[in-house]
Amino acid sequence: MSKLPYSKGFTLISLMIATLIGLFIIAAAGEVYVKSKSSFNARAAISSMTENGRFAIQDLRRTLVMAGMDIRASEASSPTLRSIPPISASGTAVGATGQDSDVVAVRYRRGPSCGAPINNPYPLAPATVRFLVVNEQLMCQVNGGTQQPLVSGVKLMKVLYGVDDTADGYANRYLNATQVNALGKWINIVSLRVGLIVDSAEYSQPVEMRAPAAYNLSLLGMNYTVPANDEKTYKVFSTTVQLRNLNAIMQKQ
């Protein structure tokens, strides 16, 4: 009777070594995946924030630069007709505290807006276009109508007004709306300086990339405090808008 051929198999030790090597490979692949996912989330957060900030600044500039268009010099001193509305619930206002957003509004008779283009030839009253931040959304409102959302992720908006004290068409100082109102300088406004703090909206930063301590962001001379371990990332955007139409009105007076 012949013997069966002897065949060598895997020993228990070799199986354990192979299993251990496999686990190392799986762990390494998992770590690469997690890091790639975190990197993707971080890039998505920064991209979303940057895109929203640029769109917000673009929308603001496109409308604010129209302030005073076709408004006559004789109307410039009238609170109901002038290019920058007075401080009120429906006009220009400043936040109650430094961490609140400002509101900015301009008037003009002809030009683009957040809705249909404005075309109110004299003697029709100029349109009032207002920007404000509600629930981290930049909103636009025309003539007190429905507030239209423009850009999300806007945490804070601050506005300063360039005052021309020497009638040369250039701003000598920048003041907030309350200061301008107290000095009665609305007719001397020749520019607007708008600052935004924009966050990453629906995108969250990976835990390992979050700031462990609170820090401040400077926005037009004020500080906004970001809490420690905040899941969002933030960026400051600002622009200065020269109001050519208001400058022309001043020169006609």
The domain tally of the chain equals: 1
pLDDT-derived band at 187, boundaries 50, 70, 90: confident
Q: What is the mean pLDDT of residues 196-205?
A: 84
**What value, to the nearest 5°, has the Cα angle with vertex 112 and ends 109 and 118?**
35
Which domain range does residue 119 map to?
A: 35-252
Whole-prediction pTM value?
A: 0.81
Q: What is the mean pLDDT of residues 57-71?
A: 94
In a domain, 49, yes or no: yes
pLDDT greater than 70 at residue 40: no
In a domain, 26, yes or no: no
pLDDT-derived band at 96, boundaries 50, 70, 90: very low
pLDDT-derived band at 119, boundaries 50, 70, 90: very high
In a domain, 161, yes or no: yes
pLDDT-derived band at 69, boundaries 50, 70, 90: very high
**What value, to the nearest 5°, has the Cα angle with vertex 220 and ends 81 and 183?**
40
pLDDT-derived band at 246, boundaries 50, 70, 90: confident
